[in-house]
Each structure stands twice: as C-alpha cells, then as structure tokens.
Amino acid sequence: MNLNIKFLFILFLITTTSFTAGCSIENKTNKTFTIEKARTKTIDHIHGIGYSGDGDSLIIASPKGIKIFTEGHWLETNQYFHDYMGFQTTKDGFYASGHPEEGSSLRNPLGLVKSTDLGKSLQTLAFYGESDLHFIATSFYDKTIYILNEEPNSKLNTGVYYTENDGRYWKKCEFNGFNSNTFGMMAVHPSIGSTVAIATKNGIYFSIDNGNTFKQLFDSTMVTAIAFSETKLYFSTVENNKIYLKSYDLKTKKIDDISIPSLNDENPITYIAVNVSNPEQIAFSTYNHDVYETNDFKKNWNKLIENGRLK
C-alpha cells in the first residue's frame, strides 16, 4: 500500500484543568436559516460522518458546511458553510472544531463548539479562537468528550483530555498500557463515556476507565477507522493490501468480517458511522471521498457519494 495514512505521535502528560465554558453565538445574516435541497453537488474533503439524534439522517462534515442525507435526498444549509473538523454527532446535535467560513465574524479557529440546530447557532465550549481540534470523540448519549490537543493553548498542554460537562472541567488521560507510538482515531461508547478505543498502526487500544489504562485488543494490524454501537466496536483494517470492515463483540470478544464493496488498497476507510437508533444501518467514508451505506446490516450497500460527488 503506497498511501501514507497520517498518524500522530504524542507525548502524554498527566494533569487536571478546569475553567468556565463559553457562551452561545448566533450566526447573523439577513437571510433566514433553512435546510434545502443541496445545490453544491461535490465535496472535496470529508471531515466526519454521523447519524442525527433522531436517527433519520446521515450528516457529512465538509470544508463548506454540512451535507444531510435523508429519505434518499441530499440537503444542505443555505448559509454558515464553516469548515468543521473533528465532527461528531450526538443525541442533541453535533460537536466540532475547525474554521469559520470566509467573511464570518466568528473567531478563527473555532475551538470546541456545539450546535443543537444544525449549525444555525454555535455554543463555544472551549479554546475559542485558539485551537483547531482535528481529533474529537464523543459519547452519543452522555456528555463525555475526548480531544487530542496537538498544540498547547492557554488552558491545556499537548495530550488527550476528556470532559464530562461540555468543557467546563478537563482531565488528562494517563494512558497506562498504551504502548503504540502512533495515534489514529478515537471512538467512545454511545452510552458509557468511560469506554474509549483508539486506532493505531498496530491494532486497537481499548480503555474502560476514561483512557487511564489501556489494553491492546490485537496487534500487527493497521486500523484506519473505528466506531461503537451499544454492543459492538466496528473497525476497518488494511491487511495484505486489502481493505476490511469488521466488528468486535464487546461481550463475547468475537471478531466478524463484514462484507463490503471492493475497495482499492489506496482508498481505505476513513470514518465509520453506526445509527444508534437502528444498528442495522451503517455508513462509512473512504480516502477518495466515497460514502457507502447499508440499511440491512451489510446485505446491500448503497453508494451515496462517489469521488466526492453526491449521488
């Protein structure tokens, strides 16, 4: 495999930090905020995917706002095309970081923000105007949020931190037992915020105590994407120049292969989304900006985006 997939190396330090969370900021224009049929038919990057709180829609984060797939159609907001990074959907809305759209009065970078109205308004939780967080992981139902802070800001040094109250208090993960020198993607259990998994170039590291201690589920396998359902951990591997999607049963520890459309070895899976309201519905994106979705748990896959073009 010639593709150089980016992984990060971090030195982890132990600390606890608290501060007051931010406020809500209303995006202000003369236009009425609406959700309408998508006019922009292409996406040049995918910065996260996830199902809406009601389970009715798949939401894609791009450099120009969000795209929403629902009832067989693509929709988009008519304004506020922010470049969301670290995008995570939850029961109440979404969390993200990134950069405001050109011409916006919002500070750049966004820090950690939250929206409960598809981006009409943003609540600034932490690091507003300071940090661009590319690695964010949230629990779908509770308020546990993990971040990888790549550069020091006024509140935190580098490392992985978590909060259970929308950024008011932060604790640093101790990472005992984490023996990999690579760091790919984080995922959090939808209802147990203390359960977190991290993808690395040599397998998955799994923690049930907020990242303070880890165990390695398996080794010698590059994992490019991970996501939890209530009962399983879904992950994608690159093995012998082949792309796989698998599930790990949290109770039985059994690993099963999931049949997916054939993918070129230079087009690995980048994000996985599981519909918590309907675990039969799973979606994934790829390096070349394809998005596939199944509504009957792997029996049939529909291609929703091909090479960045909405279908």
For residue 210, tell me if it sits in a domain. Answer: yes
Cβ(244)–Cβ(257) below 8 Å: yes
Domain count, the chain: 1
Residue type, position 80, single letter: Y
Cβ(75)–Cβ(117) below 8 Å: no
- Identify any residues that bridge with 274 across adjacent strands, giving them in sequence order: 282
What gap in Å lies between CA 274 and CA 237, rounded to an integer?
A: 17
For residue 17, tell me if it sits in a domain. Answer: no
Query: For the domain that residue 224 is a member of, what is the CATH number?
Result: 2.130.10.10
For residue 221, tell me if it sits in a domain. Answer: yes
For residue 291, tell me if it sits in a domain. Answer: yes
The dihedral built from the CA positions of residue 204, 187, 175 and 150, taken in this order, carries a sign that is positive
For residue 56, tell me if it sits in a domain. Answer: yes
Instruction: Give the pLDDT confidence score for residue 9 in this predicted structure.
Output: 37
For residue 170, tell me if it sits in a domain. Answer: yes
In Å, what is the CA distance from 97 to each residue of 83, 130, 204, 221?
A: 8, 11, 25, 30
Q: Which domain holds residue 234?
A: 40-310
pTM of the complete model beyond 0.75: yes
Quick one: which of 97, 120, 118 has its CA closest to 109?
Answer: 97
- Identify any residues that bridge with 95 across adjacent strands, giving them in sequence order: 88, 114
Q: Provide φ and ψ at 45, rounded to 5°.
A: -150, 150
For residue 28, tell me if it sits in a domain. Answer: no
Instruction: Give the pLDDT confidence score for residue 10 in this predicted structure.
Output: 37
For residue 167, tell me if it sits in a domain. Answer: yes
SS (H, E, C) the chain: CCCCCCCCCCCCCCCEEECCCCCEEECCCCCCCCEEECCCCECCCCCEEEECCCCCCEEEEECCEEEEEECCEEEEECCCCCEEEEEEEECCEEEEEEECCCCCCCCCCCCEEEECCCCCEEEEEECCCCCCCCCEEECCCCCCEEEEECCCCCCCCCEEEEECCCCCEEEECCCECCCCCCCCCEEECCCCCCCEEEEECCEEEEECCCCCECEEEECCCEEEEEEECCCEEEEEEEECCEEEEEEEECCCCCEEEECCCCCCCCCCEEEEEECCCCCCCEEEEECCCCEEEECCCCCCCEEEEECCEEC
Q: Please enumerate in sequence order all residues whose Cβ is within 8 A of that of 291, keeping only pairs 6 or more positions apart, or say none.
A: 46, 49, 58, 60, 283, 284, 285, 303, 304, 305
Give, for all 311 residues of the chain, the pLDDT tens digit. Answer: 444 444 443 333 333 344 445 566 656 667 899 999 999 899 999 999 999 999 999 999 999 999 999 999 999 999 999 999 999 999 999 999 999 999 999 999 999 999 999 999 999 999 999 999 999 999 999 999 999 999 999 999 999 999 999 999 999 999 999 999 999 999 999 999 999 999 999 999 999 999 999 999 987 799 999 999 999 999 999 999 999 999 999 999 999 999 999 999 999 999 999 999 999 999 999 999 999 999 998 679 999 999 999 99
What gap in Å lies between CA 163 and CA 36, rounded to an integer?
A: 34
The dihedral built from the CA positions of residue 33, 35, 36 and 37, taken in this order, carries a sign that is positive
Instruction: Give the pLDDT confidence score for residue 15 in this predicted structure.
Output: 36
Instruction: Give the pLDDT confidence score for residue 28 in this predicted structure.
Output: 60
Chain-centroid distance, C-alpha 166: 16
Q: Please enumerate in sequence order all residues whose Cβ is within 8 A of that of 15, keeping only pairs 6 or more positions apart, or say none.
A: 156, 157, 159, 172
Cβ(226)–Cβ(199) below 8 Å: yes
Reading the block at residue 190, the tokens are 């939808």
